[in-house]
Amino acid sequence: MESSNHRVVALLGHGVIPPNSPPIAADDLGFTRGDGCFDAMRVVRDAHGVRVDHRDRHLARFARSAAAMDLPPIDVSAWAGLIDQAAAAWTGDGEAVCKVIWTRGGEFVASDPVGVVLIAPGPASCVPLRVAGLHTGRTSDAFRNAPWLLGGVKTISYAMNAAAKREANRRGVDDALFISSDGYLLEGPTSALVVARDGLLDTTPTQDTGILASVTVDVLREHAAQHGREFRERLIQPEELNLVDGAWLVSAIRGVCPIIELDGRSVAFSPRISHTLARWAGFAAA
């Protein structure tokens, strides 16, 4: 059983609370309808102490998600202080995930929005991935002029993402990669796609596709620019993975995970490029 020493819960306006206490009421709209947003970042304990990677970048995206959902504005300073307080209370070793959650509050009993910080053990380390392509039933531009679809918003309505992970497991592979109905690769359930070919790095565009802007992709893009490497956004077709030098699903929690197979077809794996991308993103190479 997980030790409570490895899990920290903090409530906006209250600070760190006992990890087994219920911070959210039974009628909270985040709980009953998924009406809220969240973000997630990596917590690391090393010889220098505890740090929260790219905290301010994640909070900026968190604030954008809240604004897109017409939730009360995020007080970035208050949330940063709460994250730091929770991280100081975390006594685990190695790495963990820090989630920030902002819900609309009570449905039947009026209440203020609820803000929670949770630090808990993260998923297993990144490994080379066998991936299944799963169709979304939407075109690659389905989110154009449709803000009510909440494209690019990190909502807590993650049932479809969880279902995609289960379907990938049923197919005997490690993860999923969403494909639009017009035949373009999009993103993983919890990760962004990056491919390398002929010295160029590519990722799928956000905006019209509804893909969440990735903090890890932004970090990689900045490092690529510093090293004179072009990093493009473009739509990528599945058959292109037959020609790439490597492809990866990247996230702030798992890091840079190489794709070695898509729907039973091998994808090239470059240890050299993998090592470089992992180092740029602040992870050990997979």
- pLDDT tens digits along 209-235: 999 999 999 999 999 999 999 999 999
Do the domain assignments include residue 84?
yes
8 Å CB contact between 65 and 100 = no
β-pairing verdict for 129-135 and 175-179: parallel
At 22, is the pLDDT very low, low, confident or very high (cuts 50, 70, 90)? confident
* 24/141 same-domain check: no
Task: Work out the pLDDT band at 5, boundaries 50, 70, 90.
Answer: low
Provide CB contacts within 8 A for 14, sequence distance 6+: none
β-bridge partners, 101: 38, 116
Expressed as residue numbers, the domain containing 15 is 4-121
61, containing H or E segment: helix 55-68
Question: 1 falls in which pLDDT band (50, 70, 90)?
Answer: very low
CATH of the domain at 214: 3.20.10.10
- Residue 96 structure tokens: 């963990």
Q: Check whether residue 96 and residue 179 sit in a common domain.
A: no
Q: Which of 19-28, 46-55, 210-219 has the lowest mean pLDDT?
A: 19-28
**Which sign, positive or negative, has the C-alpha torsion 254, 255, 257, 263?**
positive
Same domain, 136 and 244: yes
Alpha-carbon torsion angle 139, 140, 146, 148, nearest 10: 90
In the chain, how many domains are there?
2
- The pLDDT of residue 96 is 96
Instruction: Give the C-alpha separation, 92 to 197, whole Å.
Output: 40
Please report the pLDDT score of residue 187 as a whole number: 98
107 inside domain: yes
- Do 117 and 135 fall within a single domain? no
Q: Could you tell me the CATH number of the domain that includes residue 35?
A: 3.30.470.10
Q: What is the model's pLDDT at position 148?
A: 94
- pLDDT score of 125: 72
pLDDT over 70 at 113, yes or no: yes
Domain for residue 286, yes or no? no
* Boundary (domain end) residue, out of 68, 86, 121: 121
What is the residue-averaged pLDDT of the chain? 94
Confidence of residue 126 (pLDDT cuts 50, 70, 90): confident
User: Is 67 a residue whose pLDDT tops 70?
Assistant: yes
Q: How far is CA 27 from the centre of its chain?
A: 27
pLDDT tens profile 70-99: 999 999 999 999 999 999 999 999 999 999
Residue 14 maps to a domain:
yes
138 and 12 together in one domain: no
Q: Rounded CA gap, 209 and 207, in Å?
A: 6
158-203, pLDDT tens digit by residue? 999 999 999 999 999 999 999 999 999 999 999 999 999 999 999 9
Six-digit token pair at 91?
């006594």
Domain match, 73 and 142 both: no
Confidence class for position 285, pLDDT limits 50, 70, 90: low
**Cα angle vertex 216, ends 43, 231, to 5°?**
160
> Which of 87, 121, 155 delimits the end of a domain?
121
Q: At what angle do helices 55-68 and 215-226 cross, to 10 degrees?
A: 130
Domain final residue, candidates 87, 104, 121: 121
Confidence label for 2 from pLDDT (cuts 50, 70 and 90): very low
Rounded Cα distance between 116 and 101, Å, is 5
* CB 136 within 8 Å of CB 178: yes
Same-domain pairing of 237 and 202: yes
Q: How confident is the model at residue 69 (pLDDT cuts 50, 70, 90)?
A: very high
252 phi and psi, to 5 degrees?
A: -70, -20
pLDDT at residue 124 is higher than 90: no
- pLDDT over 90, % of the chain: 90
User: Do 56 and 167 fall into the same domain?
Assistant: no
Q: How confident is the model at residue 123 (pLDDT cuts 50, 70, 90)?
A: confident
Is the pLDDT at 10 greater than 90, yes or no?
yes
Is residue 147 domain-shared with residue 52, that is, in the same domain? no
